[in-house]
Amino acid sequence: MTETRRRPVVELRDVVRRYDGSAPPAVEHLSLEVAEGEILALLGPSGSGKTTALRLVAGFERPDAGVVWIAGRQVAGGGTWVPPEARGVGMVFQDYALFPHLTVVENVAFGLHCLDWFDRSPRTDETLRLVGMREFSGRYPHELSGGQQQRVALARALAPRPFAVLLDEPFSNLDTDLRSQIRDEVRGILKETGTSAIFVTHDQEEALLLGDRIGVLNQGRLEQVDTPEAIFHTPRTRFVAGFFGRADFVPARVTPTGLQTEIGMLSQQVPLAPDTPVEVLVRPDDVAIAASADGNGVVVRRVFQGGEVIYCVQLASGKTIHSLQPHTTGLGQGTRVTVMLAPGHPLSCFSNGQAVTAGRGQVT
């Protein structure tokens, strides 16, 4: 049975934004869409254009080219301009941006000027209950923890029942344990209300956990937008591959029987001419090592992670590669080891920075 395609709530079509005419655009020919009830994570390094993209949707920036649509209505581009307050989107800022002189309930009610008081009060109460902050309605922001302020900021964004909520690095001010708890709560609330959302982050783990899809930006361009699984396992570019998790790129050459690497033959067929150089994406769990006096590598560093250890091994070529092993392995720095590829699945490989489709195969 084919899944019914949900209508897009937010669309950017070929959008360009420049801050300086002589500099590369902050956002360059960006096209993406967010469906009803979908959470899209925008991920990228500093300066990649992710916050600019969010601001273009919110109406805090005007596109130099392209168009922006929200809920089927053009709100920017082509001579059209709808101000932020009329776009039907909620915004959650990195620093929460709560009004310090207003109580929790007053902060949440602030965006409900379109409703009369009799409708405003029940809506505010309902939203505070949704985020678990009803009992704190009379407190001021300085009397709340960071996590509580985050919930209030989300409640204020949700209270007007927007078409979409935009979140700009919303968890970066929270400590690690609280961040994990709050992001799970926020995802649950967005899913419970069926609210479309775009959230910006530079945290790869956060994007994988929260996004139904992830868009990876690099220097203003969208490198890939896909499900978390596809982004991690089948990256389309070397940049995307290197941005997620710990990634090593092992040089290889195409042969009639597969890919020849410094640490073994990978019997994956690729549609390239023999002797073509490529790079193979190898993650620590794809690499096996074993102590051996005549091994092809030397342990130069070990990182203890509790139940597991990451070993950094230098190969004869001088290149380093990482291997994930159980904490019981016990290899010391300077130990000579045999390094082998043991992925148990096809590995991604790249030519000139772009992914090359590879057939299934095993390491021999």
Instruction: Report all structural domains of the chain as residue ranges with CATH numbers, in order of start.
Output: 8-242 (3.40.50.300), 248-356 (2.40.50.140)
| Helix (H) / strand (E) containing 176 | helix 176-193
Q: What percent of the chain has pLDDT over 90?
A: 79
Q: What pLDDT was estimated at residue 344?
A: 83
Would you say residue 303 has pLDDT above 90?
Answer: yes
Nearest one of 48, 38, 105 to 239, comparing CA atoms: 48
Beta bridge pairs of residue 304: 309
**What pLDDT sits at residue 359?**
44
* Six token digits for residue 235: 């990256």
Tokens of 311: 């070993």
Euclidean distance between CA atoms 274 and 208, whole angstroms: 36
Helices 146-158, 117-130: axis angle to 10 degrees equals 140
Q: Which stretch of 3-12, 32-41, 45-54, 199-208 has the lowest confidence by average pLDDT?
A: 3-12
pLDDT tens digits, one per residue of 62-113: 999 999 999 999 999 999 999 999 999 999 998 889 999 999 999 999 878 7
* pLDDT confidence of residue 22: 61
pLDDT at res. 5:
65
- DSSP code of 101? T
Q: Is the pLDDT of residue 362 over 70?
A: no
Q: How many CB atoms lie within 10 A of CB 341?
A: 22
pLDDT for 175 equals 86
* Dist CA 244 CA 233 (whole Å): 10
Length of the chain: 364
State the residue for tokens 């690099």. 218
The rounded mean pLDDT for the chain is 92
pTM above threshold 0.85: yes
pLDDT at 4: 57
Phi-psi sector, 142: left (phi>0), alpha (psi -120 to 50), beta: alpha
**Confidence (pLDDT) at 236:** 95
Residue 118 has pLDDT above 70, yes or no: no
Q: Which two tokens stand for residue 240?
A: 């995307």
User: What is the C-alpha separation between 288 and 323, in angstroms, rounded?
Assistant: 6
> What pLDDT score was predicted for residue 267?
87
Instruction: Summarize the confidence of residues 10-26 as an average pLDDT.
Output: 90
Phi-psi region of 182 (alpha: psi -120 to 50; beta: other; left: phi over 0): alpha
Per-residue model confidence as pLDDT tens digits over 161-199: 999 999 999 888 888 888 889 999 999 999 999 999 999
User: Is the predicted pLDDT of residue 363 greater than 50, yes or no?
Assistant: no
| Helix (H) or strand (E) run with residue 152 in it | helix 146-158
Averaged pLDDT for residues 249-260:
94
